[in-house]
Every structure is written in C-alpha cells, then in structure tokens.
Chains A and B, each alone.
Chain A
Amino acid sequence: MKNALKITTAGDRELVMTRVFDAPRRLVYDAHTKPELVRQWLLGPPGWTMPVCEMDVRVGGTYRWVWRHDTNKTEMGMGGVYREVRAPERLVSTEKFDEAWYPGESLNTLVLVEQAGQTTLTQTMRYESGAARDAVIKSGMESGVKASYDRLDDVLAAVPQATK
C-alpha cells in the first residue's frame, strides 16, 4: 500500500508513528493547527464527530477537543498545552483526557520534513510510564475491533468540503 503508516514502540514508554503525505508540509502543518481543518480528519473510528475543537496555537496556549458518537451520544474530551510551536516543522504539546484511561499525561511531538513536495510526518508520544503507553495501545485494539472499517469509504465521502 502506498504511504503506509508505521508505528513502533521506542524505549519503554514511547510510541512513534511515521507517515508520508503527498503534500507540502505547510499544508500538513495547517491541517494540524487550524481547528476548521483538524475537525475534518482527527475523528478516530467511524461514527464519531468532533463538535468541540478549540486551539490557541502558541507557546503556553491551550487546546480543547471533544468527540461525540453519532448514535449513542457518548462524549470523549481531551486537551493540553502547546509547549513548542515552530511552523511549519515542529509542534510539541501535552495531552490529557478528561476521563483518564491511562495514568498521567503524554508529551506529543510532531515533526514534519518536506522533500520533493512530499512530507514525512513523525509523531512521537511519550507517556509517563510504560503501563500508560501500553494502555493506549490496548485501547486502540478495542476500538479497532468495534469499528468496521468497511464503512471508511462512506466516512471519507461524507467529510465536508474544506472551508475556504
């Protein structure tokens, strides 16, 4: 598959994701820092929307994200603080869920490298403990089982046009 996502564990408490995008990093950075763009793709399994997406992208600024399930109306919220903001190459922020399902918070580092019009994204998530990191991996398993990825195409088609 083209542009496959690679996920590895680094050390005992980090997760590292790598993915190539066919776009200049300026756009990839925008898609991570402009709320009207973030809420169009950062949704997780099918069936979830992102009614709250507030982001004050500057050092010390906060962000707040809330997802809601279409049918059972379950809500899941999280937020954090921006620690480092260097457009369009680097973004460091903390992450903490409202209902902590893993202990402590994580420090997330986004690094974007552009080459020949393509952007390599590296997202490192550093958790406070190995147990927290593994709880996150396990949660991915559970939602992955519940989600039917057959419906992914429908979801892609339903994504509203990018705001101008």
Chain B
Amino acid sequence: MQATHRLDAVFAALADPTRRAIIARLASGQASVTELAEPFTMSQPAISKHLKVLERAGLISRGRDAQRRPRRLEAKRLGEADKWLERYRQLWEGNYRRLDALLDQLKTQEKERKPR
C-alpha cells in the first residue's frame, strides 16, 4: 500500500509541466532554487512549492552545501516510475500484437469475399 502511495506521489508530481521542466533542468546537474527559478516567470515561493512536491515524491533531494542548498535529481526514483509504465506497456503490446494479426486476417477475408 505504501509503495502505491509513493508511486501515486511520483506520477502526480510529474503531471505538472513546470515540475517536468525542473526535472529536465536537474537532469543536466544540480541547481539552487534561484537558478531553477530563472527560466520561469514565477516567483521563488511558487517554485519552492513545486520543489516541495518533487521532494515529497522522492524525485529530488537537497545537496550538502548549506548556503546554496542545491537540488539534485534522484534518478533511481524516476527510473522506478518508468519501469512500472514499461511493464504495463509490455502487457498491452502483447494484446495489440495479437490484434495486428487478427486485423490482417480480417483484411484478407474481406478481400477474398468480394474480389473486384
């Protein structure tokens, strides 16, 4: 149950475009709150709010530098979310590959039934 709640937090965190942009920025290295706020037309408190959501989901953490408190990406957690989606994708890919084969059969049958 706890794992489900954690995954819930991860996907909820990633549902927002600003937070996805923050993640993308952090993928190229850690950054302070000021640096993270720069590309956005958003106040620092607003950015801090987004950072808190990401932090609660375990997607980012704070660096050791006490002054800058740089945020950095927790790639492992992001990878977990990806893996979950990937397994689900495999399940449906199996279904849809069967559907491909079935559609091919149906197309062939239609052609045979009404040769023009």
Contact = CB atoms under 8 A, between A and B. Distances in A.
Interface of A: 3, 5, 7, 9-12, 15, 17, 19, 21-23, 27-28, 30-31, 37, 40-46, 130-131, 133-138, 140-145, 147, 149, 152, 155-156, 159, 161-162, 164
B99 A31 contact: yes
B104 to A, nearest CB: 8
A138 B110 CA distance: 40
A5 B93 contact: yes
Interface string B28-49: 0000000000000000000000
A11 B15 contact: yes
Contacts of B4: 131, 134-135, 138
Given A30-B106, A40-B98, A149-B90, 8 more contacts: A5-B96, A22-B100, A27-B107, A41-B96, A134-B4, A134-B7, A134-B8, A152-B94
Interface of B: 3-5, 7-8, 11-12, 14-15, 83-107, 109-110
Most B C-beta atoms less than 10 A away, residue of A12, A37, A161, A164 = A12
B93 A27 contact: no
29 contacts: A5-B89, A5-B93, A5-B96, A9-B11, A15-B88, A22-B103, A23-B104, A43-B95, A44-B94, A45-B94, A130-B12, A133-B11, A134-B11, A134-B84, A137-B88, A138-B4, A138-B7, A140-B84, A140-B89, A140-B91, A140-B92, A141-B84, A143-B87, A144-B90, A144-B91, A147-B94, A149-B90, A155-B94, A162-B102
Closest 7 A/B residue pairs (Cβ): A140-B88, A144-B87, A141-B87, A41-B98, A23-B103, A134-B7, A41-B99
